[in-house]
């Protein structure tokens, strides 16, 4: 909301300077968003007199003017159609910053004629939109005088942000009241004289049954014999200062009362109203041509002000063009009504109308303004437009708008943490318009004023006291500790998320954060058997469903990076995926993607990445959290976004902990990813918790005897999984065999088709005595037998 300092001072007697006032406004919760001081921005502009204006020799539309600036005569080339000798205008000397254009004036030469300054239009001064010609000042304007002082623009404009609860401060008067309560001066109360009507209004108010719940009360007054025309300069200045366009006296009066007192009014040209006016719900199919020149489709539930012809105004939002006032209006009907805040907001939103009336009506007006608001309007109309007022007509019952609350002054300390003397608390509340009865020392009865519908309970009263007293006075108290040491802040799951990120980064993957939504076309490649989870109102068509997997986002990111020249890339994200709308459908996934080749190196041969790279990432992650990776079952059952022959799910008992593999070439291709692409997804919440009992580890059982290694190579069918051999060899003697490593795979050569050779290194750990050759021989035979039994593999000779 905008107002000027002098406007504020019409309601507040104060000696405080601008800086003090703006600081206090912010301290009160009326945050100052800006202060525009034209005395500063328009300082260099002076009243200039065009002594002579001649046609520019080389340009039809330009004139060469000799301008008396008060300090001498300068030549200025001017393109305005109204530039002529004898005109008094606004002159800007060279070096001036012109607010309307944002440029600094330089001395120039325009088509061969020197130009030393500028004669300005209203737009160039930032004083409106008028750019048809230069400003014309009255003949008595003193040449060389400061334009700001001459036009009394040296009145700073203050803009404040009003939080949605403070409807009372949407008028300058309410702002003044807050400042006065904070000790910044004395509030001048509204003391309107009531003017008696001399006749009964020919237009009467009715509230139809359909609007009973939406319009509690409405008042009106008929003025006959008014003269509408331009409003007086003081009123025009008030409105232009805050960016409003003066229209006509009657309209300007309604705007002024809206901004000055937060009492929106509407004026109907009474001669254009047919019959009485009624507040009613709009009917299906009704339309209205509103004052903004647009036609709106109305629907039931919206409040309209209608006469015999139909809707004449959208209640609380905007008047209609047909019954609007014009220069020729001689009889006027003034409306001041109370509307339900919710229906006003809904209607305004639906119709897409942002008006000053809607802004106030949807936040809630002071019901009492129905009474004094009409008095103010009466005074201004009679003063400016003359005429004769009717008696006031009304319909409905005026609500009190007040409530009685219990308030314990001790709550200011208990809740607010700041000590404010009870007497001071009372003073603050009274100054803000509350009625306080000290029922007892501990508990008061406080009646809210009609303009403070936002104050609903004791906590609100605490806030009122505290904000006027000043939040600066709240002492900062560090949080007391519950114990000597703070409790552990993160759960096991949260800690694992933190550790996962650091582990994957150490492994060379870069962490990224991508949106939780993705294009449905991409999501469809990753949903498996689950349905897509769409948004009803996506931000854009390509972010229309919740992501079922992070891989899609990572693949798209890889493609974008490749386009920037980074085709070998390793990315991961730890975040949610969504298989449905419920909390349990939100799956936390540590997802990684590697694309391209291993780095080129003079010593290590470059190769395309493959599924084993993804396996290494997944296994590193799982083993870091104590998952017994040797017990994991790899099943060729990964979802369809993986290569069917180069992927696996990782199953531990009945639980799938994750999946990895080569990205399905069709998926990679669809997302524009070139080169090898491998990925993994680990579902962190499914990882088993450590089976910890206390902190002590079991005793280390390190043998004094040296372990020995024996190598075996087996020829098996090419389809036999290597893991089968390893498990069989391990199982050959669970006591002595401590480790089995697969170290070679060979196919082709002398081997028959469909066969492969796998070489195992078996570690034997003697327990209480060295093994004899015979014992080692026997163990080897057991290994060979076990492998043969499990896989049909024969020892390679």
Partner 1 sequence: MQAKWLNAVAASASIETLEQVRVDALGKKGEISGLMKTLGAMDPDARKEFGAKINVVKDEVTAAIEAKKTNLADAALNAKLARETLDLTLPARPEYEGRIHPISQTIDEIIAIFGEMGFSVAEGPDIEDDFHNFTALNIPADHPARQMQDTFYLPQKADGSQMVLRTHTSPVQIRTMLKGDLPIRVICPGRTYRVDSDMTHSPMFHQVEGLVIDTHTNMGHLKGCLQDFVRAFFGIDNLPVRFRPSYFPFTEPSAEVDIGCDRSGGELKLGGDKDGNAKHWLEILGSGMVHPNVLKNCGIDPAKYQGFAFGMGIERIAMLKYGIPDLRTFYETDLRWLRHYGFVPLDIPTAVGGLTR
| Least distance (Å) between residue 358 CB and partner 1 | 12
Cβ atoms within 10 A of the Cβ of 39, count?
Answer: 14
Both structure tokens of 221: 């007054």
Q: Enumerate residues 166-225 that contact partner 1 by CB under 8 A.
A: 166
Q: Enumerate residues 466-505 that contact partner 1 by CB under 8 A.
A: 466-467, 471-472, 474-482, 486-491, 494, 498, 501-505
Residue whose CB is less far from partner 1, 90 or 465: 465
* Window contacting partner 1 (CB under 8 A); options: 200-208, 272-280, 456-464, 720-728: 456-464
Nearest alpha carbon to residue 730 among 747, 745, 712, 748: 712
**What angle (nearest 5°) sits at the alpha carbon of residue 364, between those of residues 362 and 369?**
130
| Least distance (Å) between residue 721 CB and partner 1 | 30
| Least distance (Å) between residue 647 CB and partner 1 | 23
**Count of residues in contact with partner 1, rule CB under 8 A:** 99
Nearest alpha carbon to residue 165 among 415, 23, 362, 329: 362
Query: Looking at 381, 533, 595, 720, which residue binds partner 1 (CB under 8 A)?
Result: 533
Q: Enumerate residues 334-393 that contact partner 1 by CB under 8 A.
A: 342, 345-346, 349
Q: Enumerate residues 152-171 that contact partner 1 by CB under 8 A.
A: 163-166
The answer to whether 462 contacts partner 1 (rule: CB under 8 A) is yes
| Least distance (Å) between residue 578 CB and partner 1 | 7
Q: Enumerate residues 409-438 that contact partner 1 by CB under 8 A.
A: 413-418
Nearest alpha carbon to residue 278 among 204, 201, 206, 216: 206
**Could you give the angle at which helices 422-431 and 458-469 cross, rounded to 10 degrees?**
100
* Window contacting partner 1 (CB under 8 A); options: 215-223, 462-470, 677-685, 716-724: 462-470
Q: Enumerate residues 2-41 that contact partner 1 by CB under 8 A.
A: 26-29, 31
CA distances from 450 to 172, 399, 447 (A): 17, 9, 9
C-alpha to C-alpha distance for 675 and 668, rounded to whole angstroms: 9
The answer to whether 463 contacts partner 1 (rule: CB under 8 A) is yes
CA neighbours within 13 Å on the CB side: how many for 92? 25
Residue whose CB is less far from partner 1, 616 or 640: 616
Q: What is the DSSP string of 622-688?
A: HHHTT--GGGPEEES---TTEEEEEEEEEEETTEEEEEEEEEPHHHHHHTT--S-EEEEEEEGGGSP
Q: Enumerate residues 44-103 that contact partner 1 by CB under 8 A.
A: none
Residue whose CB is less far from partner 1, 493 or 665: 493
CA neighbours within 13 Å on the CB side: how many for 81? 3
Residue whose CB is less far from partner 1, 423 or 604: 604
The answer to whether 759 contacts partner 1 (rule: CB under 8 A) is no
Residue whose CB is less far from partner 1, 370 or 463: 463
Query: Which sign does the torsion angle of CA 574, 554, 517, 637 carry?
Result: negative
Query: Looking at 191, 536, 702, 735, which residue binds partner 1 (CB under 8 A)?
Result: 536
Helix, strand, coil content of the chain in percent (nearest 5)? 30, 25, 45
* Window contacting partner 1 (CB under 8 A); options: 100-108, 257-265, 512-520, 713-721: 512-520
The answer to whether 546 contacts partner 1 (rule: CB under 8 A) is yes
Burial of 266-276, coded b for 16+ CB within 10 Å and e otherwise, reads bbbbbebbeeb
| Least distance (Å) between residue 405 CB and partner 1 | 12
The answer to whether 714 contacts partner 1 (rule: CB under 8 A) is no
Both structure tokens of 677: 């692409």
Beta strands in 476-581 (DSSP E): 510-511, 517-518, 533-534, 545-546, 569-578
| Least distance (Å) between residue 601 CB and partner 1 | 5
Burial of 108-123, coded b for 16+ CB within 10 Å and e otherwise, reads eebeebebbbbbbbbb
Residue whose CB is less far from partner 1, 74 or 570: 570
C-alpha to C-alpha distance for 206 and 209, rounded to whole angstroms: 10
| Least distance (Å) between residue 543 CB and partner 1 | 7
Q: Enumerate residues 570-599 that contact partner 1 by CB under 8 A.
A: 570-572, 574-576, 578, 581-583, 585-586, 598-599
| Least distance (Å) between residue 456 CB and partner 1 | 9
């Amino acid at each position: 909301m905008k107002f000027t300092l002098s406007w504020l001072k019409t309601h507040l007697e104060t000696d405080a300077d601008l800086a003090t006032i703006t600081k206090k406004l912010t301290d009160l919760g009326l945050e100052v968003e800006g202060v525009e001081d034209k005395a500063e921005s328009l300082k260099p502009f002076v009243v200039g007199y065009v002594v002579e204006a001649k046609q520019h020799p080389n340009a039809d539309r330009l004139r060469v003017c000799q301008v008396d600036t008060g300090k001498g005569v300068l030549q200025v080339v001017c393109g305005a159609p109204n530039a002529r000798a004898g005109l008094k205008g606004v002159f800007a000397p060279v070096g001036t910053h012109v607010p309307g254009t944002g440029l600094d004036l330089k001395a120039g030469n325009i088509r061969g004629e020197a130009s030393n300054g500028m004669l300005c239009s209203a737009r160039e001064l930032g004083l409106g939109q008028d750019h048809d010609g230069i400003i014309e000042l009255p003949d008595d304007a003193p040449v060389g005088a400061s334009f700001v002082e001459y036009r009394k623009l040296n009145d700073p404009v203050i803009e404040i942000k009003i939080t949605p609860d403070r409807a009372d401060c949407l008028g300058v008067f309410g702002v003044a009241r807050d400042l006065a309560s904070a000790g910044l001066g004395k509030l001048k109360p509204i003391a309107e004289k009531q003017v008696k009507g001399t006749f009964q209004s020919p237009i009467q108010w009715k509230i139809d049954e359909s609007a009973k719940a939406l319009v509690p009360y409405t008042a009106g007054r008929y003025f006959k014999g008014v003269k509408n025309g331009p409003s007086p300069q003081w009123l025009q200045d008030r409105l232009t200062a805050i960016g409003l366009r003066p229209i006509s006296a009657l309209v300007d009066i309604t705007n002024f009362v809206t901004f000055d007192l937060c009492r929106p009014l509407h004026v109907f040209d009474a001669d254009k109203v047919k019959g009485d006016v009624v507040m009613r719900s709009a009917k299906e199919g009704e339309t209205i041509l509103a004052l903004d020149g647009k036609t709106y489709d109305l629907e039931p539930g919206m409040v309209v002000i209608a006469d015999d012809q139909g809707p004449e105004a959208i209640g609380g939002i905007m008047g209609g063009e047909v019954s609007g006032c014009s220069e020729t209006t001689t009889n006027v009907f003034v409306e001041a009504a109370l509307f339900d805040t919710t229906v006003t907001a809904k209607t305004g939103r639906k119709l897409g109308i942002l008006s000053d009336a809607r802004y106030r009506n949807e936040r809630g007006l002071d019901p009492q303004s129905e009474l004094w608001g009409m008095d103010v309007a009466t005074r201004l109309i009679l003063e400016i437009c003359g005429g004769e007022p009717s008696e006031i007509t009304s319909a409905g019952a005026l609500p009190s708008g007040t409530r009685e609350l219990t308030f314990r002054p001790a709550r200011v300390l208990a809740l607010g943490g700041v000590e404010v003397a009870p007497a001071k608390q009372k003073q603050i509340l009274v100054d803000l318009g509350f009625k306080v009865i000290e029922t007892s020392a501990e508990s008061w009865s406080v009646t809210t004023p009609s303009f403070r519908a936002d104050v609903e309970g004791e906590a609100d009263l605490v806030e009122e006291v505290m904000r006027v007293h000043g939040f600066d006075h709240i002492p900062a108290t560090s949080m007391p500790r519950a114990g000597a040491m703070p409790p552990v802040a993160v759960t096991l799951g949260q800690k694992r998320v933190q550790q996962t990120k650091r582990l994957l980064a150490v492994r060379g993957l870069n962490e990224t954060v991508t949106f939780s939504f993705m294009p449905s076309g991409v999501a469809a490649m990753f949903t498996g058997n689950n349905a897509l989870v769409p948004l009803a109102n996506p931000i854009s068509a390509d972010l229309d469903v919740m992501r079922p997997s992070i891989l899609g986002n990572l693949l798209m990111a890889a493609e974008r990076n490749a386009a920037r020249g980074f085709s070998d890339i390793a990315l991961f994200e730890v975040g949610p995926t969504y298989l449905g709308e419920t909390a349990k459908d939100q799956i936390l996934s540590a997802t990684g993607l590697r694309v391209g080749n291993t780095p080129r190196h003079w010593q290590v041969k470059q190769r395309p990445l493959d599924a084993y790279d993804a396996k290494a990432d997944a296994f590193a992650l799982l083993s870091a959290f104590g998952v017994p990776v040797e017990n994991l079952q790899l099943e060729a059952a990964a979802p369809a976004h993986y290569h069917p022959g180069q992927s696996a799910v990782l199953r531990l008992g009945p639980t799938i902990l994750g999946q990895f593999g080569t990205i399905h070439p069709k998926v990679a291709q669809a997302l524009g990813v070139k080169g090898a692409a491998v990925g993994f997804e680990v579902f962190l919440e499914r990882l088993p918790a450590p089976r910890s009992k206390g902190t002590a580890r079991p005793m280390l059982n390190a043998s004094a005897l040296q372990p020995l290694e024996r190598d075996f190579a087996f020829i098996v069918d090419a389809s036999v999984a290597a893991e089968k051999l390893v498990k069989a060899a391990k199982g050959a003697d669970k006591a002595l065999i401590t480790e089995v490593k697969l170290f070679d795979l060979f196919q082709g050569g002398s081997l028959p088709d469909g066969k492969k050779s796998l070489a195992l290194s078996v570690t034997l750990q003697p327990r209480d005595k060295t093994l004899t050759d015979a014992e080692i021989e026997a163990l080897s035979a057991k290994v060979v037998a076990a492998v043969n039994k499990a896989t049909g593999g024969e020892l390679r000779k």
